[in-house]
Structure formats: structure tokens, C-alpha cells
Structure 1
């Protein structure tokens, strides 16, 4: 059902829903547009609305081929809406869910596009703060790039900052999507441009591997991994590309590349990646193999055992498997962050290998024990026969034959 947005725009059809609001296909004075209608609780906060309107100049000033441009900001009664360019395509999350992982050439080309968009934003003093596949749009009507990749555009600038208004959250709160949060955000530091680089490197890792480097399980466990663990290498990609990912996932913000540098360095890798198929690697487990999962409650799905078995960092926080949803949690204290083991993050399993503790893994273990037992029995039998032969005479008489022979005459 169509609805008016301000005096100049009409929202005709819902295109999608996110954590901050609903995206509509709309019509304006200059033709089709995308209208992001923000949640009513955001629109009803007058202080927040006034603060967001102050960001209008920065948002309207972002003009780059790899950024979804904001055309207008509408404040009308309970409606707070961003009017944006309409991109004919899909978001990167949808493609990733369909294909699970992308060929390295396509993945790098997409991330290089996004890095170019971030470079323009950072030059204008704007930090995105919520870079993730859901906020990357693929223009299906644009020219194909390396690896058959469609042009990528970053969207939703300013939305994370809107949700993270001081009136809505305190300095002890974290607003963001756990899988992509830079360590300095987890530690309560203000977000700078480097947080976008960390998140984008996480997206690149996810496009290559099919999973994020520190995600999985309880949100608190995810936050801990960002701070305490190092990233697990991905097999089969050029060393220089891997070093780029490692540098952009550095714990220290100053060690990461700037967006323009990242875009340039990634494009240098494209000739080395031409024709390379998607990586063959399975997602790691969400908990250590030596820590049994907690039993699921009555009527609870088996998958809940994994989520509930993960290490909680924030007391009372609930597992959140939807990465499209901002998670609000308090900033963990130094003692909580230091409580986890420092080391390498969850290592990917070899393709086809069973998960530790699974029924397939237990059956495989039983088969190995049976084979080992049979081999041991055969070895013991062989040793016994060898001992019997060693105690026999040259004539082949056994011990019983010697024992029962007649004594010699005196």
C-alpha cells in the first residue's frame, strides 16, 4: 500500500527490512528512489532527530560511484526517512547466502570497490561504523568487473551513528554487529576511520572463507575473540593478499591500512587471482572440542547447544544469530577481556572432516578403536606364536613332549 513521505515522495513497495527500519521503492520528483523509513522510536526522539539533521550536510555531500548517495532527509511527523539513489540489484549478504563463498577474484574486486567508497567518506570526515555484507549493494545493471563482479556500493552511512546517539546509549554500551566490531570498539574507545577498515577486512575474509574470522556462538565470546585471538590463515590464497588481510585485522588501529591504500593494494592482486576457484574450507566449530556443549533444553533445537556452550562475556546477554541486527551490550571490563585464552582463533576444519563431538565423529572414533583393537590382538597372537616356536626343539617337539618322555637308563 502506497504512503506519502513528506510532500515530495511516495513509498510504493517494501524492498527489505533491517535493524534500523524499512526500505521502500519510492517515487520522487526526479523519478524512482529508495526510501529508508527509520524506526518510529528513532523518529520520536526529538533530540536525536535534531542531531541527525545536523549530519545532513555530510551525508548529502558524499558523492562517489561506490557510495549510495543520499538525496534528501525527510522529517515529517513521526516519519524520519533517508531518500537515496535506487540501486537495481541485491545486497552482498544475499549473494553470499546463495553461493556460500565467492571466487577470490570477485571477492577482492567487490571489497576494492567498497574501499574506494570508504576512502571518499573518510576524506569527508564520515565514518560508516557498520560495514557488513548487508550494507553493500551490488548493481546488477552496471558493467561486470574482474571475476564477473558487479559494481559494489556502500549504503547506510549515518545510520549506526543515529542509533548510537548519546541519549540512547551510554559510554559503557556497545552498538554494532558483533562479527564486524573492531577491538577498540569492544574496549570502549571512540570509533575512528580504522574501524571501517577492520570491518571491511572481516567482510573480505568472510567472502573468501564463507564465515567471519571471529564469529560464532555467544556474542560475548565473539567480542572476546576480537580482542584476544589472532586470525587463522586461509589456505590457497597468495601470501601478499593474506598479509593485506592480516594487516587490516591488526588489533592496533594505527597498524591498519587507509582505505585508499587498501583499494590500490587489492587491485594489484587481481591478476594473480584470475580463474582461481572458491576456497575449499569448512566452517570451524563455535566451541573448543574439549569443552562439551551444554545439553539443549526441552524443545530446544540442537544448534542451541553450541550457542549456549560458548563462553559468555556479557552476563545476561542473549545469543544473536542474526548478523543484520545491532547488538547492544555493555563494554566488557579489562578483567573479562583478559579472562579468555590468548591464541589463534578457531581453525577451519579440513573439507569433509566431521565436527568434534558429532555423531559422525563418534562413529569414526569407534571404528578407529575397533581397527586398533583388532590390530593389537593380531600383534599379540603373532608374538605368542613366535614365543612358542622359540621354546621348541629342532625336531619340532613341544614342551609337553619333553615333559612326558621316559627318563634315561642309569
Structure 2
């Protein structure tokens, strides 16, 4: 068995900022990866367009449209879009990362959902879709795969890859866009879509959640499309009788074949869903009842002693019974009257208690005393976050606080925190980020790298340190750089990005070593070696083919850099010319022309009258070019 080839994107740094960690999912247009935003130190989802689509302007336009469409939405039920760009030939989109599952995966595990679960999910989906419709955006590709269920309970709508402006009312001559199982009749027949087309897809999703299956199936896509265009979606209760009538009505309303017969947008459908939600939940709350015992009617006094005889097939009452009958009738009438009056009081009491229970239930279930989940507002603008919190039923009190991650001016969180339950109408403190706190930077110069990292725990220290050769001991910190590559000052932003510069030790001293030994020592230290032209070393200290000089090509020198080596050619030896017998001036000129310095002890004014008698070194001897030849002369008479 051969292993599948590794994804070349894993580990890649996109645009110098996003480090790809692993693959999340692959679709028709793009692949989604989990990545780390190195600038803000947070996990993100990065969608990268398939390479074979990079030259297709239609797909590139649609890809950019997704970024623009989603970026216009700031809503807790819509996946946030942070960035969009191009790195070389790759178009990418950076989104909020939500660990969890999709609605499709939930349906695979549970087959179908309860009415209450369906209402919860549809409330979130319609809330996000209502924000899109309000912004003039039609999603055009609603399906369970695009509903994200986060581990922390948040439900968000994503993948606006096919989104268009609602006012465009555009058609397409291309193949039908979107998943065929959720396409509205008008998209199938005319290729036109507006907000009501999204509502149709919502209705199909609701049917699937309640029944565990799609309303239309077929062996070929066109067979399914034909059913969408010509058939009426059945009620979910026809498949499962336990589905409430209110949800049947919503499914039929939202999947009407004629767009004009559907809700005009997601807000209208959401309002209707919330109207019927209390009755749906009440109808599915299990009732606890006490056992009722039916007691026989009280027997009248004396009845136990009455004598009864059966004569000739008829019943005869005893004389005692006949005499007491009038009194018993009167007593029974009074008893019945008392029971009737008592029944009125009991009925009135039941009505009162029922009213109190209903009022209490309303107060704590949907009224001011109800608990509601605090929505997510982190990274929203204060105005958008205030609107989201107020729509959830809370009173907003703004405040400020430092936040090392959320940019200044955006909401960094709330108290109570998002996801917690709080009473409707209660005050939620909304914190607006004032940016990171400025804190002192510990002095870690000279400390071992591990110790320095521990001391800098309040900052974001890059995983990879810079290494350079220095006189400092190896593996100790010699500099701390800020995000611009400059030495950091005494204070810095909390969780700000820092890079450590760590000593790689001193470069090996290779002067005087044979070329092979010097080369090996430097390569082992992690630097590359280049050679300059060899030179003579007339000092005699460096033998031929040994290193006479080492010159770095960078300052400072880091592992992987290059150093230049110069080798010695040994001494430059020249034969001493024979100048014995020559006039002194001529002898000196000859020696100088041969590259030597000269020394003599004959007076200058008499040189014209002197003759060379000997040299040291002697004629024909080998001497170093540039060395001094001592000349001895005598006076010519």
C-alpha cells in the first residue's frame, strides 16, 4: 500500500503572515485549511482557491465576491471574514475558525432532529440570513454543509461563495449553481434568484431536519430538479406524525412553488418561527400528573340496614326504606347543591392558578424575567455589538479595557461572557479594546534561550530564533528584536511579537590551517566557504596552501552565510643579481629593479667614486622579494 502524497500547502507561510497547519475540508472551488495568523497569534480558517481555477476570471471574481459579501455582515450567526488577498498565483480568503461540526454531520449522526432542536438551529440560521438579506445579499447556496455548529454552542452561517447582491436579480446561462437538492423552482426553470430562493432552501433544510431525509430523491440531478419545479413539498408530519402542525405550516409556506407565496425574506420567516416557538415547546413538555381515585357516592344513612327482597322477579323495598326515602332525597339534593357550589369555587381556583402559572411561565419563559444567551460580539464594532445585544434583550453598558489580541476600537468581550445565560433586560457590560497594555520587558541579554523565553511569557516570542556568531557563549541571548526588527526598548505591548537573537558561538579561527582543515571546520560550524585568489606570505609564518586570511561577507555572520578564505602561496623568492664590480650607483639600481631593498654604509657623496665589492646575501642566492640586500663598496682611485 502506498501512502497518499502529503499536501504541499501544509507548513506553508501565506503572504508572510498565515502559517498553514492542517487541512479542514475540500470543495469544488477551494480547499479550507486551519492556519495561524502570526501577526495576531490566533487560529483562523484560510480558504485557498484551487490552482486550476486561478486563471479563470469567473471563479476568481466569485471568490473575491465571497469575501466582499461576508465582510459586509457583522452578525453573531454569520462566519466573520478577516482578510482576502493573493500570494503569487494563489487567491485566498481568511475567515473565523470555528471548531465543531456541520449540520450535515449532525444529521448523519442523529438522522433526524426533534422539533425543539430544529427550532433552535433554524432560529440561528434565519437570524444570520436575515442580516444578509437586510444587507442586500442573497446566499444562493444554503445547505446543511454551510451551517456550522461550534463546540461552544454557537451556530453560524458560512460559505458565501455563490452570494450575489439581491438587487442584481441576475440569471445565469451556466450550469445551475448551488446544490440541486435545495434549489428553488425559479432557479431550476429560469436561473433567477432572490431572497425568497434562500427561503425555499431553508424550508427544504427544515423538512430534512424533521424527517431525516430530503423531500425529493432521484438517480439523476435533472430528475430531482424536475420534482422541485413541478411537485409540492409534502408536510413533515406525513413522514413522522409527531411533527407539530406549526412546523408543517412553516415548511409548506417556505417551499411554495411560487416565490410570491413564500415569506419575502428571512426576517419575516424568523418572526413567524418565534411566534409559534412557545406553543411548540409547550406541546412537547412532558406532563406530570397525580393519580385520581374515583370514590363511590356516599350511601345514605340507614341504607346499610335496608332490607331488599326479590319477589317474582321484581325489587321491593322494605318498609324502613320507604319511610326514609323523602328524607334521603332532601339530603341528596342539599349534598348535590353543596357539591355544585364547591365545584364553582374549585373551577375558579383552577382558573386562577392556571392564570398565575401561565403568567409566571410567560414572565420567565418569554417575558422580562426570561433567561437569554449572551450573543458573541468579540471583534465587532461597538455600534454593531450594541445592536446585537439589544436585539437579544439586554441593556448595554459600554466600558474599556486593554486587550492584547483584539484591535483597538473593537469589542473585546462582555460581562456576562458570550454564551452565558442572563436575564432579559439585565445590564451587559460591553468592553471596547484600548489595545494591548504596555508592560516592562525583562532584561534577558546573556541568559540561556530557554530561561529568556520563560521570562518573556507575557509576550509572543517567535518559535524560530535568529542565530548569529559572536563572542558570547553559544545558546545565550544576545539581542531581543521587536516586530520591525529593531532592538526592543524597556517597555513593549503585552503579547507583542518578539524575536530572540541567540549566539551560535564564535567562528572557528582557521588562520594558518591547511585549506582542507579550515574548510571542514567552517562547514561544521554552519557557514559556507568561498576562496579568493591566493597571495604570497613573505613573512614566512604561513606555509603555502594554508589560510592566510578569512573575510566574512556579512555583518553579523549567521549560520548559512558565506566567508571568504585566502590561501598562502608561500614566500616570493627572487635570485640576487651579481653586481660585484659594478659602480655603486649602478649596483644599487640593479638590486632595486630586482625587487629588493638595499643597505650600505658608504658615504652618499662618494658613491660616484665607489665600486661594489660584495653583497649579503651573495649573488645567485634566493632571497624574499622586498627583503633588504646589504651592499659593501670600496673607493675607486
- Tell me the TM-score normalised to structure 2 length: 0.39
Question: In the alignment, which residue of structure 1 is the partner of 2:511?
Answer: none
- Larger relative strand fraction: 2
Question: In the alignment, which residue of structure 1 is the partner of 2:33?
Answer: 24
Q: Deviations over 1:163-217 (max 9, x none)?
A: xxxxxx9615312211000000001232111111110111111000011112343
Paired residues of 1:172 and 1:188 also in contact (CA < 8 A): no
Shift in CA distance, 47/208, structure 1 to aligned 2, threshold 3 Å: closer
Question: In the alignment, which residue of structure 1 is the partner of 2:201?
Answer: 199
In the alignment, the residues of structure 1 paired with residue 57 and residue 251 of structure 2 have an alpha-carbon distance, to the nearest angstrom, of: 41
Shift of 1:77: 2.3
What secondary structure does 1:230 align onto? Answer: coil
Question: In the alignment, which residue of structure 2 is the partner of 1:82?
Answer: 93
Shift of 1:22: 1.5
Shift in CA distance, 87/172, structure 1 to aligned 2, threshold 3 Å: closer
Shift of 1:106: 0.5
Question: In the alignment, which residue of structure 1 is the partner of 2:157?
Answer: 154
**Equivalent in 153, 156, 181 of residue 179 of structure 1:** 181
Q: Deviations over 1:275-298 (max 9, x none)?
A: 849xxxxxxxxxxxxxxxxxxxxx
Shift of 1:14: 0.8
Residues 1:67 and 2:78 aligned together: yes
Shift in CA distance, 109/51, structure 1 to aligned 2, threshold 3 Å: closer
Unmatched 5+ stretches in structure 2: 1-9, 166-170, 286-637
In the alignment, the residues of structure 2 paired with residue 254 and residue 66 of structure 1 have an alpha-carbon distance, to the nearest angstrom, of: 27
In the alignment, the residues of structure 2 paired with residue 42 and residue 276 of structure 1 have an alpha-carbon distance, to the nearest angstrom, of: 50
Residues 1:94 and 2:105 aligned together: yes
Matched ranges for 1:281-300 at <5 A: none
In the alignment, the residues of structure 2 paired with residue 214 and residue 42 of structure 1 have an alpha-carbon distance, to the nearest angstrom, of: 32
Question: In the alignment, which residue of structure 1 is the partner of 2:441?
Answer: none
Shift of 1:48: 4.3
Residues 1:188 and 2:190 aligned together: yes
Paired residues of 2:138 and 2:163 also in contact (CA < 8 A): no
Question: In the alignment, which residue of structure 1 is the partner of 2:343?
Answer: none
In the alignment, the residues of structure 2 paired with residue 47 and residue 134 of structure 1 have an alpha-carbon distance, to the nearest angstrom, of: 23
Shift of 1:160: 6.0
Shift of 1:256: 1.2
In the alignment, the residues of structure 2 paired with residue 54 and residue 172 of structure 1 have an alpha-carbon distance, to the nearest angstrom, of: 18
Paired residues of 2:246 and 2:280 also in contact (CA < 8 A): no
Q: Tell which has more relative contact order, 1 or 2 (C-alpha 8 A, sep 6+).
A: 1
- Larger relative helix fraction: 1
Residues 1:133 and 2:144 aligned together: yes
Paired residues of 2:62 and 2:161 also in contact (CA < 8 A): no
Shift in CA distance, 276/43, structure 1 to aligned 2, threshold 3 Å: farther
Question: In the alignment, which residue of structure 2 is the partner of 1:256?
Answer: 262
Shift in CA distance, 51/247, structure 1 to aligned 2, threshold 3 Å: closer
In the alignment, the residues of structure 2 paired with residue 240 and residue 50 of structure 1 have an alpha-carbon distance, to the nearest angstrom, of: 41
Shift in CA distance, 116/219, structure 1 to aligned 2, threshold 3 Å: same
Shift in CA distance, 50/203, structure 1 to aligned 2, threshold 3 Å: closer
Shift in CA distance, 10/186, structure 1 to aligned 2, threshold 3 Å: same
In the alignment, the residues of structure 2 paired with residue 77 and residue 202 of structure 1 have an alpha-carbon distance, to the nearest angstrom, of: 41
What secondary structure does 1:153 align onto? Answer: strand
Unmatched 5+ stretches in structure 1: 143-150, 163-168, 278-410
Shift of 1:51: 6.1
Paired residues of 1:89 and 1:140 also in contact (CA < 8 A): yes
- When the two chains are superposed, the root-mean-square deviation of aligned CA atoms in Å is 2.3
Shift of 1:92: 0.6
What secondary structure does 1:174 align onto? Answer: coil
Shift in CA distance, 172/55, structure 1 to aligned 2, threshold 3 Å: closer
Matched ranges for 1:8-407 at <5 A: 8-28=17-37, 29-30=39-40, 31-46=42-57, 48-50=59-61, 52-53=63-64, 56-142=67-153, 151-159=154-162, 171=173, 173-235=175-237, 236-257=242-263, 258-274=265-281, 276=284
Q: Deviations over 1:325-372 (max 9, x none)?
A: xxxxxxxxxxxxxxxxxxxxxxxxxxxxxxxxxxxxxxxxxxxxxxxx
Bigger radius of gyration = 2
Shift in CA distance, 19/51, structure 1 to aligned 2, threshold 3 Å: closer
Question: In the alignment, which residue of structure 2 is the partner of 1:388?
Answer: none
Paired residues of 2:30 and 2:50 also in contact (CA < 8 A): yes
Shift of 1:137: 0.1
In the alignment, the residues of structure 1 paired with residue 189 and residue 83 of structure 2 have an alpha-carbon distance, to the nearest angstrom, of: 35
In the alignment, the residues of structure 2 paired with residue 90 and residue 7 of structure 1 have an alpha-carbon distance, to the nearest angstrom, of: 30
